[in-house]
Structure 1
Amino acid sequence: MTLIYLVIFWFFLKTSRCQLQCVQETFDDTEFSINVTEHIQLESSSCHEIPYKLTFLTNNVTAPYEVIWFEGDPANTVAVAVISEVESETQDSFEIYGLPQGEYEYGLKLEWGCNQTYIFPKRVHISVSELTQKPDIWVPHMVEGEDVTITCIAERLCYGEEGIHWKWTKADGVTTVIHDDDHFSFHWRNTNALHLSPTADDHNSNLTCVVEHTHDVVETTVTLNVQYSPKILNSSECRTEGKLLVCTCISQGNPLPPITWPLDTLTDYSVSSFSSIQTVTSTIILPAADYHNATVKCSSSNEVGLSAIEIPVPNGTENLRLDPGVDLNHEYDAVFPWIIVGVSLSLNLVLLTTLIICIRKGRKSSPKELCEEMNTYASLNVADVEQPYGNISLSNQRK
């Protein structure tokens, strides 16, 4: 019976001793200190190491102990490091992995022994802003029909795997999404290569490299500069304006392709040109009578190539060459209508005068004579403009 009481008493003492050891102590803040940056500015999805140094009395902490980082509330643990030996100073770093935009607060605490904890009052405040680190695009010299490789390079953030794709917006505003062509990664960056065989239509189109990080999407856009040889448009033409021959040649190319005309045999002419974007328009004006060919040659060239066409000359220019000094058809067409109008007015005036006279004499003459005179003047035909006026009889007036 006595032995049973001794065993019970021994367990009671041991339990009481353990409870006394697990009572949390209160420590003086002057005996613990932490040296760390309190305010840090970061960009979204980026990583950052926060170095720190701890100082405390070795008799306050027993090994092993834990260094615990928490976010906001001390119960919200984000990182734990176990230290096997107690030293008065401890230096280490805390790494922040890619955070989204926002405001964050981190703190540090120590735990050891039986429920012993010390929370450092100092906090680390981190402000995370929008990611501004955009990809780089390398574009080689581009010529129509020559294969090229365009490369997009994206820096890695927090050792993550970035997703890369392309967007191609043509001149008509239509956008095409192009996924991985050749995608390869290095330790510090991701790269995507796009293979193209550009055409003239691709000039001035926009190519965008889109990089998707953990919390952000960033992109870079370049405008393609495709060089191509001149192309003379079908709207090039020759026309006549009065006695002049006017020929217009329109060419497109990159770089701008100047236009030349066959001027060796010409002495009297004028040439004017203007350009807009990749289009050159040139106009030559010369007397139609001085040009005796059926076509006019228009040439356009740049450092990429040469283009030339023969522009037909209107057939109407041959009439202008018969007599360059006088334009008979034009003068006849202008005068003839006025002759008709003059003759018509004269005949109407004569007819009106005759009617007035007939009315006055009708009071004295017989109805038969009046009708004969009316029939005589009414028989005049306006179309007979070439008949001499002397053929009109006025014998009744003399009587």
Structure 2
Amino acid sequence: MAAALKVFLLLLQGSLCVTFEITMPLSIDGLTGSCVKVPCTFDFNSKFDVDLDDSCKAIWIRGSTGGTVVFDSDLTGDQASGNLTGNLLNKECTTIFYNMPLSHSDNYYFRIQCDNNLKGTYPTGVRITTQNSLDQPTITPSTLEVEEGALVTLNCTAVAPCPILPPDLTWTPRIGDIEEKHESESMVSVMNFTSSYLHNGQNFSCTALYKPQAGNTDPRFEKFMTLHVLYPPKNTSVSYSATVKEGSLVNLTCDGNANPAVYTWYKVNGGQVTDVGSGKRFSTTVSEVDRQFYCKVSNIYGTQNSSITQIDVQFPPKETTIITQPKGPRLEGSSVSLLCKSRANPPVTNYTWYKGDEEEKEAGSSLVLNNVKPSSSGDYYCAAKNEHGDQNSTLIRLDIQYLPKNTSVSVDPSGPVQDGSSVTLTCTSIANPVAVNFTWFRAAGREEKVMGSERDLTFNVTKLSEDQYYCEALNIHGPGISESVSFDVTFPPEILSSSRCIKISSMIRCSCYSQGNPPPSLVWKLAGEPVNHSTAIPIREESLGNVGMKSIITLYDLDEDTLSLVCLSINSLGFDSFAFNMSFSKTEQGLHSLSFGIGFVVAALGMLLVCVPLLLIYYRKGKVISSSDKAETCNPVVTDAINSSKVDVIYANKAFLEEREVAEEEPLHYVNVDFAKLQAHSKGKPGEGEIRGLDSKTEYAEIHLQSRGSIGGDAEEEENVSDTQLEQEKTP
């Protein structure tokens, strides 16, 4: 407000000159909608002091001394536009004007008016101006720098044009102790507190909130100041951007609380510390090795180091390798796990497995192979990948081992081989590790014999051998056995000594037995001329196994003196012939009559050895054999029966001659006959069968069992011929 002005007035009343004096500001600023206080004192000539009584009132006129009355101290209640706070009797004219209008500015003049001679308007007034804003509060001191721990006093002063509605003063932040006092034209708030490093650089504000009249909005005015606190370093740390890729530039910030602050940067590599820079911020290229840093903050009040900061350096996969569990070769059928390991930041997010150039279906850091097979063997590698790149592991070879398989025998030469020639058998097998031991076996019936221990086996083949050969391949995991092989041994034809003729009545029947490989063909020559099958001379041929052939020719009513019969056997390797002796006595015979006689004698002796004891036992038990049962045969004990097709037995009977048909041949059964056990099984019935052979224990022979119905008067007319044919027998 402007300084008070003392006005001296000379008033002329009648013939007297009176001097008037008033003191008040030249101008006052007020807030729209609020009240305004005008401090005021007046004075006049002392001779009028007696007229200053209770009848006097204060009047304020706006505009000019003759203008509009805006205040009358006699008006009260709702009619009052203000309040006279001064005491007129003490010459105090201080007045408060209520609810000042918006954007108002005018001169106001004071008038003293009493119910006597004291009346007068002071010619000098005060200019009152109202507006929507006032000056901001003031904070003292406006700037402040103190050491940590010092006592701080902040003063906030705001104008108070309306004494009945002073402003509310608020500190932000509100700390320490606060005292407020209302002065004549202002409001003062004092805040006292002890400084801390936390207050350094902090803005303190003082807000003055005014409360206007007549429901107007509350205007607010604010003032700021910044406090600077000097203190040693505290809470020193390092910060950096969240993601840093290896080889890139990183910005480091030293976050130290100190005032003032001096910054120094250090790099740590193992036990070595290097000074690398200064300043609050530091930029450097980082790697897996160069990624540890710390900073130091210092001032005159102290020094403090941050902790060592290890920067999170991100990089693509490195050192990608495969670990095999369990280690070493694995046996077929077992399980194996492959683990892909890699260093990466961030960690590997994707693993891909490869066998050779082919991608495996299974994903993840491990590849589990169950029930491994030989096909599982090979080179494996894995690819590890994260957001920064990928890397392939080195190759590892998975070795799946197994015992020998697909073991087989190859024959050189392949195909048929001639009797007595050399053959080489080779044993081949697939194995891991490879087979190191080989064993050859020869199987003859139920007997086996070891023949060699090399991969190859060489020997000479013999005809008619049914021996089979196989090999065994062995490695550390076990054996593998091949299938058996046999040989197709070729040899030229040979006619067997069992070939013969028999004569019954006027019929001559000749049988020619031959063997050879390839199987021979048989040709008959009668009197030097080839003979073909016809009704007059029937010829029947029959194969005997794979290498034998039998041909039977039947001749009727021939002149024995002029008859010569030859059997000729032919194949691709040669031929053989046999001339039959057509001279007959009571006993039929061929060229080999001596052999037939020996066989007959031996067979007869065998029958005597078997049947005589049986007959004695039978008669002792008082049993009599009727004449109708004379043709029944014994039942010998037969053991070790085997089948063969090398030799067949021919026989003739009367029915065949009468019907002029070829006799039906029965198959030959090869047995070992134990005559010593015959008694126990024959139950004392000798003569129930007929056996012809060379010995009591014959390698094979024919046992011809006759039905009881056919044995009788015709039994003596039937002729049976059985011959033993050994495998070693050869045409002379």
Query: Structure 2-normalised TM-score?
Result: 0.28
Considering Cα pairs closer than 8 Å and 6+ residues apart, tell me whether 1 or 2 has the greater RCO. 1
Higher helix share: 1
Query: Structure 1-normalised TM-score?
Result: 0.49
Structure number with bigger Rg: 2
